[in-house]
Structure 1
Amino acid sequence: MTALTVALVKGGRTKIRYPATVIADDGDRITVRAPWAAEGTRDFGFVRFEPGDVFTEHFWRDRWYALKEVRSGDGMLKGWYCDVTRPAVVRGDELVVEDLDLDLWVSADGSAVLRLDEDEFEASGLAARDPQAAAQARRALDTLELLARGTGFDRLLA
């Protein structure tokens, strides 16, 4: 397995960088595993990300989203955190992902599917700066929600 650094960029600035291990790369989708990378616990109200959590993250080089399976340190599935992003780019030993603010949370049992940060997306000004990218981002969020409410992500990740 290969190590790399995931760089999450938002608004032209690197928001966070963290080490990850590549578990698969078929040239289109790259899958990495990484521990919760932020300091301390982050409580969103619907889920808590905390030290010990493990993220299995799926990034595509041709799709406008990333799927992150979130498990507690003891292996219990918490759910899926989905980021709307520009297609991922690998540069040497770094995976660069541009976050476009829109997110989706899907609980482990599928009972909760929450669209997140639509206000941040509107406030970002992306629609004015790059209307095509904004349209792609909205389509990506709609696609993720349809998958989550339908067959789930299994077919997508097969």
Structure 2
Amino acid sequence: MSAYSAEPAARVEVVLVKGGRTKIRYPAELLSDDGVHVCVRAPWAGEGVRDFGFVRFEPGDVFTEHYWRDRWYAVKEVRAGDGTVKGWYCDITRPAVRSGTQLVVEDLDLDLWRSADGTDVRRLDEDEFAESGLARTDPEAASAASAALDELEALARERGFEDLSA
């Protein structure tokens, strides 16, 4: 679709599930879906400001989110309202499932942050992952999640996330 098209952009609802419960759901603009890789854009869907210490998510921020049906992670580019890239927040997830206008993603607790300049790459929530009991209840998923975190960290340190088509 051309940028000059009068047609409205396709919309999806992103549904983030954690521990069998819906954690958050929000509308997003569907940018692309090639059958494997789904890309959406949405404003910060949280309430108010979320300050992690190393980055703040706040009203006006825009997330361009990349999901895959064959990968155990999602990569979210975070931009401030003025367009400045803050960095990339990555969730370790089961592969995404799109059904009609819903994109359902199961969060597996592990996360990774990469700052815009690439100097800050950090693993997050490894304690939550250990406490989740996934290693006991679904060892294959736990192994896939750990491998996905290792893969993401290597990507973040080696080349970053500017080109996610690969």
| TM-score of the pair, normalised by structure 1 | 0.98
1:155 deviates by 4.6
Within 1, Cα distance between the matches of 2:112 and 2:66? 14
Q: Any idea what the Cα deviations from partners look like across 1:70-96, whole Å, max 9, x if unmatched?
A: 000000000000000000001111000
Identical columns (%): 71
Q: Which residue of 1 aligns with 2:38?
A: 30
One-letter amino acid of the structure 1 residue matched with residue 138 of structure 2 = D
Partner of 2:138: 130
| Pair 1:102-2:110 in alignment | yes
Q: Secondary structure at the match of 1:157?
A: coil
1:45 pairs with one of 44, 53, 57 = 53
Q: Could you say which residue in structure 2 is the equivalent of 1:73?
A: 81
Q: How far apart are residue 44 of structure 1 and its match?
A: 0.2
Aligned counterparts, 1:81-120, within 5 A: 81-120=89-128
Asked if the contact 2:88/2:161 (under 8 Å) is kept, the reply is no
Q: Counterpart of 1:9 in structure 2: which amino acid?
A: V
Count of matched residue pairs = 158
CA distance in 2, matches of 1:7, 1:156: 22
| 2:6 alignment partner in structure 1 | none
State the match for 1:7 in structure 2.
Answer: 15
1:151 counterpart (136, 140, 159):
159
Cα distance in 2, alignment partners of residues 157 and 34 from structure 1: 19
1:16 to 2:24 alignment = yes
- Write the letter of the residue equivalent to 2:23: K
Contact in 1 for aligned 2:72/2:144 (Cα 8 Å): yes
Gaps of 5+ in 1: none
Q: Secondary structure at the residue paired with 1:152?
A: coil
Q: Normalized against structure 2, the TM-score is what?
A: 0.93
Separation in structure 1 between the aligned mates of residue 163 and residue 151 of structure 2, nearest angstrom: 13
Conserved? CA contact 2:68–2:74, under 8 Å = yes
C-alpha distance in structure 1 between counterparts of 2:163 and 2:11, whole Å = 27
Task: Tell me how far apart the structure 2 counterparts of residues 47 and 151 of structure 1 sit (CA, whole Å).
Answer: 21
